């Protein structure tokens, strides 16, 4: 039987505006990485991030779906948990929603226990716990197609009898089984909940629960006649301490090579487009304030950031493919010893990986860590991981100062980019090591991780995730960055120089005055006043510094081609390297500091973070500049 035969059609899932008070509430609960968010997206038409590793969802998300009978349902996607005995903050969210302990939310009318059909044993105990809670329960047997392909035979009728709940096979990524699931949910939504018999189990009860789950598993599931050896063989290589680490390094290395080779044609196209647009504006409007604002402020500023979109998307294409394939959890396994040596909990891998996109989701993802001191240590180093906002700064400076040559067959620019990412990771480990010795002494708790099954990356999910990344970048460029570029243009243009002023006009502007005022502090690290001007708006978002440099040099009339060419003609190599070193550590992202305050519920930690990062940034820049000057840079 084909999958299409099992799941004939998916319901019409247009996103519906939730009406919280009138709709039955449905909670999606299940172990991590069983496809809850994929199911939530399929049911509600939402576009929440999904990936093939545990701990992606750390917050409650809500959306609406329509059952085949027309009834509208309010669906909540909850963080994954193996049990209602919550240990970390994300698991507490799930426990509190299911048990109706939240004051700001009604308890669910129906609980959907989502279980991975290829790893059913793990979900059975949770399903038993949910049954004990007393709320109407439906079990979604997700990834049923993969289980069938693997030859796992699940007796659904028997399982339903054993669990005392309806079982619906689903394939969330292909919207399979959604109609049947929603029909069951709508049917149960009118039932009154039974009295809860759930309580925190003691050791004896826990053992009994495990035994019961084992009994149900054996009664309802027949394992494949020919067990999968492919996963074991692949893991034997990818998790090997030497071969696995070498492959991890090779994968990361290839990723950064691709960032500089694949993205170049698209970048040149975008750059050419913005240059032509600026020239067009000046040709149509002539010389004047409005022309300068649009060409030198908006186009030069925003354009100099947008040009990096192809590189950001290339990098994320690799990350998303590796996540979907199931490799990222293996990378966590390989890194565990190293992270443990630095005093970081193994689960810190998830927030640190998220921080490659942006430190904000990274800091929030630290909720997956049980212990408070482990969580704080992770939060404090998460911003050291190279976020996508640093990519424009890195690639601009690398393209301008590092020759496009090959060294032993490797692209030198890609090699430098790889080194900067490595510097971010190494510095995060070092800082964590020092913090664990100075502030949070004591060992970390042991790390147990479930390795997800290898999966062929789903093209739709890859495209959707890439689009989400592009949307975030374009939205920032079109809102905050655009408005800041207008302000930087204003600061760089006004006041006008006095009549007969000998220097360039920008020297007399507010930006020039502020920049010259900062110069004495920045001179020891090799920064000129233009960099100083760029660092201030970079507090809002790191990539704004690139746009600010574009605007400042455009207003100054430095028209020698691309921004990279302008920088190459104004800066020494030592200055360029110093700026790169600065951005490895620079704490310039106000939003990250705000999220750290929210997550730690104290101003103490964002202040400590800001101080230690700016100190490290200054010291690293000073050292880099001094050494580079010594060698004639």
Partner 1 sequence: MAEAVLVYALVALAAVWTVWKLFLPRSFKARLLRKARKTDCGDGGCETCGD
DSSP assignment of 94-163, as one string?
HHHHHTT--SSSPPPSEEEEEEEGGGHHHHHHHHHHHHHH-S-EEEEEETHHHHHHTT-EE-HHHHHHHH
Looking at beta carbons only, is 154 or 358 nearer to partner 1?
Answer: 358
Looking at beta carbons only, is 483 or 602 nearer to partner 1?
Answer: 483
CB 65 within 8 A of CB 182: yes
Minimum distance from residue 610 beta carbon to partner 1 (Å): 16
Residues 350, 568: Cα–Cα separation, whole Å: 38
Task: Give me the torsion for CA of 145, 150, 156, 159, rounded to 10°.
Answer: -130
Cα–Cα–Cα angle for 134, 139, 144, rounded to 5 degrees: 170
286 is a site residue for partner 1 (CB under 8 A) = no
Looking at beta carbons only, is 242 or 287 nearer to partner 1?
Answer: 287
Looking at beta carbons only, is 462 or 480 nearer to partner 1?
Answer: 480
Looking at beta carbons only, is 332 or 544 nearer to partner 1?
Answer: 544
* Per-residue tokens: 73: 């349902």
Minimum distance from residue 487 beta carbon to partner 1 (Å): 5
CB 549 within 8 A of CB 395: no
Of 239, 482, 505, 513, the residue at the interface with partner 1 (CB under 8 A) is: 482
288 is a site residue for partner 1 (CB under 8 A) = yes
490 is a site residue for partner 1 (CB under 8 A) = yes
Whether the CA torsion 607, 610, 613, 617 is positive or negative: it is negative
Stretch that binds partner 1, among 69-77, 289-297, 421-429, 525-533 (CB under 8 A): 289-297
SS3 content of the chain, % helix, strand, coil (to 5): 60, 5, 30
- Integer angstrom CA distances of residue 37 from 263, 295, 349, 367, 569: 31, 43, 20, 17, 50
Subset of residues 335 to 354 that bind partner 1, contact rule: CB under 8 A: none
Minimum distance from residue 287 beta carbon to partner 1 (Å): 11
Of 16, 99, 161, 480, the residue at the interface with partner 1 (CB under 8 A) is: 480
* Per-residue tokens: 99: 């048990």
Minimum distance from residue 511 beta carbon to partner 1 (Å): 13
Minimum distance from residue 620 beta carbon to partner 1 (Å): 27
Looking at beta carbons only, is 495 or 561 nearer to partner 1?
Answer: 495
Stretch that binds partner 1, among 229-237, 424-432, 474-482, 567-575 (CB under 8 A): 474-482
Specify the residue for token string 């975008």: 270
Stretch that binds partner 1, among 285-293, 302-310, 462-470, 510-518 (CB under 8 A): 285-293
Of 453, 486, 510, 513, the residue at the interface with partner 1 (CB under 8 A) is: 486
Looking at beta carbons only, is 183 or 493 nearer to partner 1?
Answer: 493
Subset of residues 528 to 557 that bind partner 1, contact rule: CB under 8 A: 540
Half-sphere exposure of 589 (CA within 13 A, CB side): 25
Looking at beta carbons only, is 319 or 491 nearer to partner 1?
Answer: 491
Minimum distance from residue 288 beta carbon to partner 1 (Å): 6
Specify the DSSP class assigned to residue 193: P
Minimum distance from residue 488 beta carbon to partner 1 (Å): 10
Looking at beta carbons only, is 297 or 526 nearer to partner 1?
Answer: 297
510 is a site residue for partner 1 (CB under 8 A) = no
Stretch that binds partner 1, among 85-93, 165-173, 252-260, 476-484 (CB under 8 A): 476-484
Stretch that binds partner 1, among 38-46, 78-86, 270-278, 283-291 (CB under 8 A): 283-291
Burial class (CB in 10 A: 0-12, 13-18, 19+), 207: exposed
DSSP assignment of 335-363, as one string?
HHHHHHHTT--GGGHHHHHHTTT-HHHHH
Looking at beta carbons only, is 206 or 487 nearer to partner 1?
Answer: 487
Looking at beta carbons only, is 63 or 297 nearer to partner 1?
Answer: 297
Per-residue binder mask for partner 1 (CB under 8 A), 293-312, x = binder: x-------------------
Helical H segments across 367-509, by residue range: 372-381, 390-401, 412-438, 459-476, 482-493
Minimum distance from residue 291 beta carbon to partner 1 (Å): 9
Subset of residues 14 to 33 that bind partner 1, contact rule: CB under 8 A: none
289 is a site residue for partner 1 (CB under 8 A) = yes
Of 208, 269, 276, 290, the residue at the interface with partner 1 (CB under 8 A) is: 290
Minimum distance from residue 280 beta carbon to partner 1 (Å): 18
Within 10 angstroms of residue 8's Cβ, the number of other Cβ atoms is 10
Contacts of 414 (CB under 8 A, 6+ apart): 253, 256, 257, 258, 259, 260, 261
505 is a site residue for partner 1 (CB under 8 A) = no
Minimum distance from residue 178 beta carbon to partner 1 (Å): 34
Size of the site for partner 1 (CB under 8 A): 14
For 258-294, b where at least 16 C-beta lie within 10 A, e where not — what string?
bbbeebbeebeebbeebeebbeebbeeeeeeeebbbb
Measured in whole angstroms, how far is the alpha carbon of residue 77 from the centre of its chain?
18
Looking at beta carbons only, is 464 or 510 nearer to partner 1?
Answer: 510
Per-residue binder mask for partner 1 (CB under 8 A), 372-411, x = binder: ----------------------------------------
Per-residue binder mask for partner 1 (CB under 8 A), 202-231, x = binder: ------------------------------
Subset of residues 561 to 620 that bind partner 1, contact rule: CB under 8 A: 590
**Helices 309-325 and 264-285, axial angle in degrees (round to 10):** 150
Specify the DSSP class assigned to residue 223: -
Minimum distance from residue 79 beta carbon to partner 1 (Å): 22
DSSP assignment of 438-466, as one string?
HTS-SPPPP---PPPPP-PPPHHHHHHHH
Task: Enumerate binding residues for partner 1 (CB under 8 A).
Answer: 288-290, 293, 479-480, 482-484, 486-487, 490, 540, 590
């Amino acid at each position: 039987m084909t999958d299409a035969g099992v799941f004939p059609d998916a319901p019409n899932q247009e996103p519906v505006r939730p009406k919280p008070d009138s709709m039955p509430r449905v909670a999606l609960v299940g172990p991590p990485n069983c496809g809850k968010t994929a199911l939530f997206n399929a049911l509600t038409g939402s576009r929440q991030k999904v990936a093939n590793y545990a701990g992606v969802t750390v917050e409650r998300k809500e959306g609406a779906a329509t059952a085949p009978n027309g009834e509208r349902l309010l669906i909540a996607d909850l963080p994954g948990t193996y049990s209602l005995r919550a240990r970390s903050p994300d698991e507490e969210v799930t426990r509190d929603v299911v048990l109706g302990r939240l004051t700001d939310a009604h308890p669910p009318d129906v609980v959907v226990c989502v279980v991975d059909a290829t790893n059913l044993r793990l979900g059975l105990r949770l399903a038993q716990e949910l049954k004990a809670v007393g709320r109407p329960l439906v079990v979604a047997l997700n990834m049923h197609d993969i289980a069938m392909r693997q030859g796992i035979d699940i007796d659904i009728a028997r399982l339903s009898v054993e669990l005392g709940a309806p079982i619906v096979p689903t394939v969330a990524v292909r919207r399979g089984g959604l109609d049947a699931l929603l029909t069951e949910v709508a049917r149960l939504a009118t039932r009154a909940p039974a009295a809860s018999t759930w309580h925190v189990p003691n050791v004896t009860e826990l053992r009994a629960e495990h035994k019961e789950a084992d009994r149900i598993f054996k009664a309802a599931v027949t394992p494949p006649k020919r067990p999968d050896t492919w996963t074991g063989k692949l893991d034997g290589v990818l998790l090997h301490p030497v071969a696995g680490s070498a492959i991890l390094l090779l994968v990361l290395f290839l990723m950064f090579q691709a960032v500089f080779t694949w993205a170049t044609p698209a970048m040149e196209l975008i750059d050419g487009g913005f240059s032509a647009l600026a020239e067009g504006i000046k040709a149509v409007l002539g010389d004047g304030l409005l022309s300068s604002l649009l060409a030198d402020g908006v186009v030069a500023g925003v354009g100099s950031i947008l040009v990096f979109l192809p590189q950001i998307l290339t990098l994320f294409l690799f990350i998303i493919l590796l996540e979907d394939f199931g490799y990222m959890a293996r990378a966590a396994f390989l890194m565990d010893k190293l992270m443990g040596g630095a005093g970081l909990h193994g689960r810190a891998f998830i927030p640190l990986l998220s921080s490659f996109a942006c430190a904000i989701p990274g800091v929030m993802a630290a909720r997956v860590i049980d212990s408070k001191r482990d969580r704080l240590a992770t939060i404090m180093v998460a911003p050291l991981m190279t976020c996508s906002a640093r990519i424009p700064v890195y690639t601009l400076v690398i393209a301008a100062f590092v020759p496009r040559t090959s060294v032993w067959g490797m692209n030198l620019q890609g090699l430098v980019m790889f080194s900067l990412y490595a510097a971010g990771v190494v510095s995060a480990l070092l800082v964590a090591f020092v913090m664990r010795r100075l502030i949070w002494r004591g060992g970390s708790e042991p790390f147990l991780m479930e390795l997800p099954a290898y999966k062929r990356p789903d093209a739709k999910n890859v495209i959707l995730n890439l689009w989400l990344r592009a949307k975030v970048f374009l939205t920032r460029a079109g809102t905050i960055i655009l408005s800041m570029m207008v302000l930087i243009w204003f600061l760089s243009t006004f006041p006008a120089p006095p009549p007969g002023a000998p220097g360039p006009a920008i020297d007399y502007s507010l930006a020039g005055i502020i920049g010259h005022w900062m110069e004495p502090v920045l001179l020891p690290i090799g920064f000129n006043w233009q960099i100083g001007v760029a660092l201030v708006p970079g507090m809002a978002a790191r990539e704004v510094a690139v746009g600010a440099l574009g605007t400042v040099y455009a207003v100054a009339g430095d028209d020698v081609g691309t921004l990279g060419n302008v920088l190459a003609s104004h800066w020494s190599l030592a200055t360029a390297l110093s700026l790169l070193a600065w951005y490895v550590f620079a704490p310039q992202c106000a939003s990250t500091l705000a999220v750290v305050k929210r997550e730690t519920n104290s101003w103490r930690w964002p202040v400590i973070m800001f101080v230690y990062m700016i100190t490290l940034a200054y010291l690293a820049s000073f050292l880099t500049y001094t050494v580079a000057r010594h060698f004639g840079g």
